[in-house]
């Protein structure tokens, strides 16, 4: 009886191995194609770990704190986009189309994209870890200079007062608060998760995430450390001048942004390494990310590009109106994103990526 059982199990195991072999090969091929992403994040994580040891802040090094959240978001985004496509392709029988797509995506495509999803989630954890260590390297000292630059650049007025003329108190302020506080998170994170998880976005994945990672490291870690600043919302705390932006802080009192700013200040003064923690204004990583989204949308569709441009302008206005940033923070962030995007395009083209087009 045992011999019969072993004989039946052995063919089944061989069939399973034969079925998994093409998937394993395809996954390994995809891993080789995306090797620059893994090398970049691996080196970044190593440098961040060494930095945490050097600063005596090893408790702040939490590279995997976002991995599970990012995995869940990627699965959710892929499921939602598959459902939308199923209704679009087969409105009469959307469920059967969804099941058919699900079998294809989950059995093959999602597993091939899993390494990219995991390394992206790890990147977010490393980035937050480094961001929380920046005050141990350089104090917050650039706010007066950045505020003065804005004041002169805008004709002897602060950026928030100019933005307030465009976005007054009341409903307009509430709308821009929702767009900036929640819209950015939904748009940037969801699209990034879609690029990471969806097989239809594979041609854009490496360029997008190489640009994304390098831009965030350069803008959100390196430049942020050199030009340490908290932005107008933390001007009183870091500079000691409670009058300059008093009108701004009174104007945004009760908004979602004000609540998040209180949360960030509490995490900063208590040394907590919570989700989303860390304070830095220059340059704006929000604007870096939104610009990259717009550049990606341009490759996908001209109409989507215009949506991205509108949202980028709204985000820049919102960042200033809600006290998060000086005007120059966003402008420099936009410039950084465009320059690194173009640089990665040229590099990708030089190494023979036929699917890369300069845009």
The DSSP string of 152-195 is HHTTSS-HHHHHHHHS-TTHHHHHHHHIIIIIHIIIIIHHHHHH
The DSSP string of 192-226 is HHHHHH-GGGHHHHHHHHHHHHHHIIIIIIIIHHH
- Position 20 scores a pLDDT of 43
Q: Quick count: other Cβ atoms within 10 Å of Cβ 228?
A: 21
Tell me if residue 18 falls in helix, strand or coil.
helix
Spatial distance between the Cα atoms of 313 and 180, rounded to a whole number of angstroms: 11
Contacts of 184-193 with C-beta under 8 Å, sequence gap 24+, read 184/286, 184/289, 184/290, 184/315, 187/290, 187/293, 187/311, 188/289, 188/290, 188/293, 189/73, 190/73, 190/77, 191/293, 191/296, 192/120, 193/70, 193/73, 193/74, 193/76, 193/77, 193/78, 193/117
**What CA dihedral angle connects 197, 200, 203 and 204, to 10 degrees?**
-60
Assigned domain for 172 exists: yes
Chunk the chain into consecutive blocks of 10 residues (it has 359) and report each block's average pLDDT, rounded to whole numbers.
Answer: 50 47 60 83 96 92 89 78 69 67 60 80 93 92 95 91 93 92 82 75 82 95 96 94 93 92 91 83 94 90 89 94 95 96 87 50
Going 215 to 194 to 77 to 190, the CA torsion angle's sign is positive
- Position 101 scores a pLDDT of 62
Assigned domain for 238 exists: yes
Spatial distance between the Cα atoms of 294 and 315, rounded to a whole number of angstroms: 12
- Position 271 scores a pLDDT of 81
Assigned domain for 15 exists: no
Q: Quick count: other Cβ atoms within 10 Å of Cβ 85?
A: 15
Assigned domain for 188 exists: yes
Assigned domain for 275 exists: yes
Into how many domains does the chain fold? 1
Residue 271 belongs to domain spanning: 34-350
Assigned domain for 340 exists: yes
Q: What is the pTM of this model?
A: 0.84
Assigned domain for 248 exists: yes
The enclosing H or E element of 32 equals helix 2-33
- Position 89 scores a pLDDT of 67
**What CA dihedral angle connects 25, 27, 32 and 37, to 10 degrees?**
-170
Assigned domain for 315 exists: yes
């Amino acid at each position: 009886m045992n011999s019969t059982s072993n004989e039946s199990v052995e063919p089944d195991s061989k069939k399973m191995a034969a079925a998994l072999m093409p998937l394993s090969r395809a996954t390994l091929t995809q891993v080789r194609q995306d090797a620059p992403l893994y090398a970049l994040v691996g080196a970044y994580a190593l440098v961040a770990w060494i930095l945490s040891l050097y600063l005596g802040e090893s408790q702040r090094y939490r590279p995997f704190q976002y991995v599970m959240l990012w995995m869940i978001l990627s699965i959710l985004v892929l499921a939602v986009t598959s459902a939308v496509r199923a209704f679009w392709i087969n409105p009469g029988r959307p469920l059967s189309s969804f099941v058919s797509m699900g079998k294809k995506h989950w059995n093959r495509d999602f597993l091939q994209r899993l390494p990219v999803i995991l390394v992206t989630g790890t990147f977010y954890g490393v980035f937050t870890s480094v961001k929380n260590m920046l005050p141990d390297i350089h104090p917050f000292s650039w706010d007066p200079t950045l505020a003065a630059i804005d004041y002169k650049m805008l004709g002897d007025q602060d950026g928030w007062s100019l933005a307030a003329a465009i976005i007054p108190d009341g409903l307009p302020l509430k709308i821009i608060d929702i767009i900036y506080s929640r819209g950015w998170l939904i748009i940037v994170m969801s699209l990034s998760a879609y690029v990471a998880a969806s097989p239809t976005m594979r041609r854009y994945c490496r360029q997008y995430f190489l640009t994304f990672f390098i831009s965030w490291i350069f803008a959100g870690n390196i430049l942020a450390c050199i030009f340490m600043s908290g932005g107008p919302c933390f001007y009183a705390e870091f500079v000691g001048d409670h009058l300059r932006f008093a009108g701004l802080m009174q104007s945004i009192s009760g908004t979602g942004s004000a609540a998040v700013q209180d949360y960030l200040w509490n995490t900063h003064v208590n040394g907590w390494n919570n989700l989303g923690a860390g304070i830095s204004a220059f340059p704006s990583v929000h604007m870096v990310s939104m610009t990259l989204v717009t550049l990606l949308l341009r490759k996908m569709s001209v109409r989507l590009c215009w949506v991205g441009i509108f949202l980028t302008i709204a985000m820049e206005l919102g960042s200033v109106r809600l006290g998060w940033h000086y005007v120059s923070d966003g402008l420099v962030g936009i410039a950084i994103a465009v320059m690194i995007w173009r640089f990665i395009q040229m590099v990708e083209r030089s190494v023979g990526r036929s699917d890369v087009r300069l845009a």
